[in-house]
């Protein structure tokens, strides 16, 4: 078989038809079932999240997995906090940041690059799209202003999260996402980013003797600064 053969459209179509045909035959039908009309998202059981204070709940869950977090009043205060945090923990100044964050009042000697992280990138700052209180994790949408490599390459990852962006359940996030992608209506699916990333703390592995070790391939330290205003 030549290398290009599997990409031959006629062969590909035949394979597709065979697989779909086999599925139908084994389900006892000849044709596809009638397509359901744009169904409402199914209502599956959720986990009770009784907490009044979602920020508090989010932080408890996040911190329990080895992440760290702080709560500050404003974005500007978040900047101050990060500068102090790096100094206090003897961490290198970030070299990369998401584009929307570049306008913040960073110290003059912090040179922040909005481009993708490279093999030497030690530290980056990102802006989360949302937090989910249910498990205490963060959602990110990839895009021109938010490289995916920032989430996985650096040793140290700093994240700014707006308190109001913390939702209770994943279902709330899906609603928000659909609205965010198509605020004026239209098909939200046309505007999907390449990736939607959820991050729940530092990278970890249990692959050696089932002993949890942080910093497997991704960041060893993930610090979230929540700003309320």
Cβ at position 69, least distance to another protein in Å: 15
CB closer to another protein, 77 vs 216? 216
Q: Does the protein bind another protein through residue 9 (CB under 8 A)?
A: no
Residue in 156, 140, 134, 158 with CA at minimum distance from that of residue 199: 140
Annotate each residue in 168-187 with x if it binds another protein (CB under 8 A) or - if it does not, as one string: --xx--x--x----------
Query: Which is nearer to another protein, 79 or 199 (by Cβ)?
Result: 199
- 110 near another protein, judged by CB under 8 A: no
CA dist 90 and 96 (Å) reads: 18
> By C-beta, is 79 or 222 nearer to another protein?
222
Q: Which residue in 50, 84, 130, 217 binds another protein (CB under 8 A)?
A: 217
| Residue of 10, 37, 42, 88 that binds another protein (CB under 8 A) | 42
SS3 146: strand
Facing residues of 173 across strands?
none
Phi, psi of 14 (to 5 degrees): -65, -45
Contacts of 180 (CB under 8 A, 6+ apart): 129
The residues in 59-78 that bind another protein, with binding defined as CB under 8 A, are 61, 65
d(CA 185, CA 189): 11
Cα distances (Å, whole numbers) of residue 77 to 58, 125, 127, 216, 221:
20, 15, 15, 31, 21
**Contacting residue, 54, 79, 133, 151, with another protein by CB under 8 A:** 151
Contact 140, 196 (CB under 8 A): yes
Q: How far is the CB of 99 from another protein (least distance, A)?
A: 9
- Rounded CA separation 154/151 (Å): 7
- Of 95 and 203, nearer to another protein (C-beta) is 203
CB 67 → another protein: shortest distance, Å? 9
Say how far apart CA 74 and CA 121 lie, in whole Å. Answer: 27
* Nearest distance from C-beta of residue 89 to another protein, angstroms: 18
Site residues for another protein, 17-36, by CB under 8 A, read: 18-20, 22-28, 32-33, 35
Shortest CB 110 distance to another protein, Å: 19
């Amino acid at each position: 078989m030549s290398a290009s053969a599997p990409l031959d459209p006629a062969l590909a179509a035949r394979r597709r038809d065979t697989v779909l045909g086999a599925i139908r035959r084994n389900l006892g039908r000849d044709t596809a079932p009638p397509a359901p009309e744009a169904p409402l998202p199914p209502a599956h059981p959720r986990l009770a999240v009784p907490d009044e204070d979602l920020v508090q709940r989010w932080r408890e869950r996040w911190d329990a997995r080895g992440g760290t977090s702080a709560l500050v009043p404003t974005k500007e205060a978040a900047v101050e906090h990060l500068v102090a945090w790096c100094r206090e923990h003897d961490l290198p100044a970030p070299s990369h940041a998401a584009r929307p964050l570049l306008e913040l009042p960073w110290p003059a000697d912090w040179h922040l690059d909005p481009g993708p992280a490279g093999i030497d990138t030690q530290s980056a700052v990102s802006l989360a799209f949302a937090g989910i209180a249910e498990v205490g994790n963060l959602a990110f949408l990839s895009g021109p202003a938010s490289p995916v490599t920032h989430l996985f390459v650096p040793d140290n990852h700093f994240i700014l999260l707006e308190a109001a962006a913390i939702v209770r359940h994943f279902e709330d996030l899906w609603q928000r996402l659909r609205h965010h992608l198509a605020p004026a209506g239209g098909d939200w699916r046309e505007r999907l980013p390449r990736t939607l990333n959820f991050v729940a703390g530092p990278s970890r592995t249990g692959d050696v003797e089932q002993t949890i070790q942080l910093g497997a391939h991704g960041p060893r330290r993930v610090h979230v600064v929540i700003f309320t205003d």
